[in-house]
Amino acid sequence: MKSLIVAESAGFCFGVERSIRMAREALEAGECYCLGELIHNDDVVKLLGEKGLHTLESPEELPEGQRVVIRSHGVAESVYTELEKRNARILDATCPRVAAIHRIVRRASEEGRTVLIVGTASHPEVMGIRGWCERSFVVKNLEELEALCQNEPSICTEPLTIVFQTTEIREKHVQIVNFLKKLYTKPKIFDTICEATAKRQKEVRSLSERCDAMVIIGGRSSANSRHLYELSKESCERVLYVSGASELDCSLLRDCDTIGISAGASVPAWIIKEVVNKMCDEIKTNPEEMTAEKPEAEKTFDELLEDSIRTIYNGDTVTGYVVGITATEVIVDLGTKHSGYIATEEFTEDGTKIEDAIHVGDQVEACVVRVNDVEGTVALSKRRLDSIRSWSDVENAAADGTVLEGKVTEDNKGGVVVNIRGIRVFVPASQTDLPREAAMSELLGKTVRLKITEVNRGRKRVVGSIRAVTNRERKERAEQIWNEIEVGKHYEGTVKSMTNFGAFVDIGGVDGMVHVSEISWNRINKPSDVLNIGDKIDVYVIKLDTEKHKISLGHRDPNMNPWKRFTDTYAVGDVAKVTVVKLMPFGAFAEVLPGVDGLIHISQIANRRIAAPGEVLTVGDVVDAKITNIDFEKQKISLSIRALSEPAPAPVVEEPVEEEFAAEEDALVYEVGADGSATGVAPEMDEE
């Protein structure tokens, strides 16, 4: 028994459907032009050409003021500029998914980022993408990426944005992302592979595993058709690649019991039916035993194109554009005869206003909930699609260890609940990475990164660990720091704990200690006088021991060294206004500048003998003092108040005056007291 199985997703995708529909509508008003082939299918291009769609190779060929269709693959930004110069009436049929990539790479260039495109460099889609960014590279696979990193080592240090050709293979995406994550800490990776492409590839992989032969239909220049062929070859020995029925050699399939058929995104339904019909006729297989239907009688081109618009089924993922918004519904144009609608509550459930959440003209993707052929409507749900994808993302993350990001929405004694795109993930207290004494409520409202450790979709139970991620990242950062650290290097650190002798600071996975003497140039008693737990401070490496993994850090800014400011300002002999800060038995310490003290020895406080500095000075006094000595090596200063005092008058010794009456008068002897006062005393004279 022979049986044919046609893949459900074979044929036109949304972007191709949209471009053909736009071209048909344009042709209703007369002939027009298209830059390059509208899609990669010779039959469709030929039929459209017969109806008046002329293909151009460059914008310079377009006659002045004519209508032109931009093909589904998109074009460079410069092409639009050239067309505007020619006053062209542009009908942009660029696939919305490709247009989204244009916006991504343009924004990346504006931010000064390098763009890496994974795809085929000669493909029109990739050439168009490169025309929207400044610096870009293209790689086809992991091998080319590894070679690029060797030949262009600078790319490993530049800020990088990665996008994928919409028709790329999903497995290639996983390989390249894993490779890049080893080189970069925060690359911006955008998964731009079309969902329809991914679905088509998944079906082909499944078919090729259970069929004796595969037939892939597609144009020779169709990248997505070529990928279907490559995927089929991985599991099936006999795979035929044809562009239509005329190329099919059925003799190669006569001994096969089960044959699978799929087609690329640019293949219309009638070509698929022609291939199936030929297989039915030549292999002599009973059509009733086939899952594919034989084609109907010959139809007109318009009817064939109408048939090529795929049917919408419950559960399908569809993309459309918002054409209207009411109080209860968001109306979506799906590019078919059906009109889609989504309940407005799906956009406003978090309190957001509908006018802020969605706008007319926005692209929206949703899941088909119910098709009403009688009324021509399709009930859609964005929430259900998000939930399906979120569960899939969570399950994949659990399988491959991918780190996910979510917001903490609930807390209790047992742990916290993290919302990841609508999925509630429970994180036990032991896995939150909080200290034991900390309250779980500290995490409320915060965005956290976590690893999924358990998933049970049936019970709707998901368990995660924040600690697993922080431990791994801390270890990676620590290894990186120890590989790069050196004396004098600066870091931004976070104060983790404090003691009386210093503060421990995390510099990105490694802790270092800032001694209390290195915290401030001003006098402090303990670290908590100027620092708090959690403070972000700038530190630099003073000393390190790589064997014991010990790091001594400094926080004081060397440029603000008060000793340097003092030596730049004062010299020996200068007079400074100083503040008494401490009294000792041997003298008084006075602040010359903040952070610089000098000693006034007890002998230099007054011009008389004193028993203690407190007899003359008190803490807080501001006095003038002369700088009498500077010890640059030990950074010590000697001050003197006495040097600025008026010296005590010297004893006056008068010469005796030899007069006739001098011998008859009593002589006075002056005595100078300790306080500098003088007294005259008349001594007793001996009688002869």
Tokens of 295: 């084609």
Residues 552 and 587 grouped into a single domain: no
What 3-state DSSP class applies to 345?
A: helix
pLDDT for 673: 43
The alpha helices in 28-95, defined as continuous H runs, are 42-50, 77-85
Q: CA angle, corner 272, sides to 268 and 278, nearest 5?
A: 145
Q: Which residues contact 544 (CB under 8 A, 6 or more apart)?
A: 485, 486, 487, 550, 551, 552
What pLDDT, in 10s, does the model give residues 528-544? 888 888 888 888 888 88
Q: Which of 95, 128, 158 is the last residue of a domain?
A: 95
Per the structure, the complete domain to which residue 151 belongs is given by 97-193
Q: How many domains does the chain have?
A: 7
Strand partners, 139: 118
Residues 586 and 621 grouped into a single domain: yes
d(CA 198, CA 194): 6
Query: What percent helix, strand, coil does the chain show, rounded to 5?
Result: 35, 30, 35
Options 17, 37, 125, 518, the catalytic residue: 125
Report DSSP state, residue 65.
T
Residues 556 and 567 grouped into a single domain: no
pLDDT level of residue 289 (50, 70, 90 thresholds): very low
Q: Position 103: which residue type?
A: R
Q: Position 580: which residue type?
A: V
CATH code where residue 282 lies: 3.40.1010.20
Domain assignment present for residue 477? The answer is: no
The alpha helices in 86-169, defined as continuous H runs, are 96-110, 124-130, 142-151
pLDDT for 382: 87
403 Ramachandran zone, left/alpha/beta (phi>0; psi -120 to 50):
beta
d(CA 434, CA 536): 19
What 3-state DSSP class applies to 67?
A: strand
Q: Tally Cβ neighbours within 10 Å of residue 240.
A: 20
Domain assignment present for residue 381? The answer is: yes
The verdict on whether 134 is a catalytic residue reads no
Q: Which of 307, 328, 356 is the last residue of a domain?
A: 307
Residues 351 and 248 grouped into a single domain: no
**Interaxial angle between packed helices 301-308 and 269-283, expressed in degrees from 0 to 180 and rounded to the nearest 10:** 90
Pairing mode, if any, of strands 32-35 and 53-56? parallel
What pLDDT, in 10s, does the model give residues 203-221? 888 899 989 999 999 888 7
Residues 173 and 241 grouped into a single domain: no
Domain assignment present for residue 667? The answer is: no
Strand partners, 448: 406
Domain assignment present for residue 171? The answer is: yes
Q: How many residues does the chain have?
A: 688
Question: pTM for the full model?
Answer: 0.43
Share of the chain above pLDDT 90, in %: 21
What pLDDT, in 10s, does the model give residues 616-657? 999 999 999 999 999 988 889 999 999 988 664 555 555 554
What's the average model confidence in pLDDT over 407-428?
Answer: 88
Q: Is residue 294 a contact partner of residue 280, using CB atoms and an 8 Å limit? A: yes
d(CA 381, CA 346): 8
Residues 417 and 441 grouped into a single domain: yes
Residues 106 and 165 grouped into a single domain: yes
Q: Which of 140, 162, 193 is the last residue of a domain?
A: 193
CATH code where residue 429 lies: 2.40.50.140
Residues 360 and 424 grouped into a single domain: no
192 pLDDT more than 80? yes
Domain assignment present for residue 669? The answer is: no
Domain assignment present for residue 242? The answer is: yes
Mean pLDDT estimate for the chain? 81
Among the ranges given (102-111, 273-282, 565-574), the one the predictor scored with the smallest mean pLDDT: 273-282
67 pLDDT more than 80? yes
CA 137 remoteness from chain centre: 20
Residues 366 and 324 grouped into a single domain: yes
Residues 247 and 204 grouped into a single domain: yes
